[in-house]
Amino acid sequence: MWSSSLGYRLIRMGLGGVFLYSGLSKVFNLVYFSGIIDAFGILPSVLTFPAAVGIVLAELGLGAGLVFDIKGSLAGILIMLMGFIGVAGYAIVMGYDIDCGCFGPSDPEAEAFSSLRTAVLRDMVMVAMVGYLYLWRYKTGTRPLFFSNIYLKSRSVR
């Protein structure tokens, strides 16, 4: 099982693709996403737009990094997932009936506004996928690439 890299690659690229899709679905409607962040009531309203921009940029950067297996991307995605689970868990405990904002304004979950439990479950599945990727790396000795190595290789090709 550990000798095949196909599962590792599929899970890594799938998880990275989810983060890329999530970021792209919100990048052109940051005001909407900022409103969702504001509805959670965790940040002062003045910080919700900068937070929206930061989250979207992180999703795009980390998603692309994971697709290309760049060092630090998997850890960043794990940190984001744990943060998402924490915020959604807080909203569930507080009894909020709001959209998670996971996949932008066209997200089917946004219609129902009861998606927080579903979002937490989905994020927990993704945390398990991250765990599998870390375990696979440990068992096989696989190491992700340093971004600087990719940059230097592209410069030497010219």
pLDDT per position as a tens digit, 139-155: 998 888 886 666 566 56
The CB density around residue 137, as the number of other CB atoms within 10 Å, is 16
* pLDDT grade for 122, boundaries at 50, 70 and 90: very high
Residue 37 lies in a domain: yes
Give the pLDDT confidence of 6-49 residue by residue, as tens digits: 899 999 999 999 999 999 999 999 999 999 999 999 999 999 99
The share of the chain scoring above pLDDT 90, in percent, equals 68
Domain that holds residue 81: 6-157
Residue 126 lies in a domain: yes
Residue 67 lies in a domain: yes
Residue 1 lies in a domain: no
Number of domains within the chain: 1
Residue 111 · residue 98 · CB < 8 Å: no
Residue 31 lies in a domain: yes
The upper half-sphere exposure of residue 148, i.e. CA atoms within 13 Å in the direction of its Cβ, equals: 0
Residue 70 lies in a domain: yes
Tell me the backbone φ, ψ of residue 101, rounded to 5 degrees.
Answer: 75, 15
Number of H helices, E strands in the chain: 7, 0
Residue 81 lies in a domain: yes
The CB density around residue 93, as the number of other CB atoms within 10 Å, is 8
The whole-model pTM stands at: 0.85
Rg (C-alpha) for the chain, rounded Å, is 17
**Token pair of 100, please?**
């998670």
Structure confidence at residue 106 (pLDDT): 65
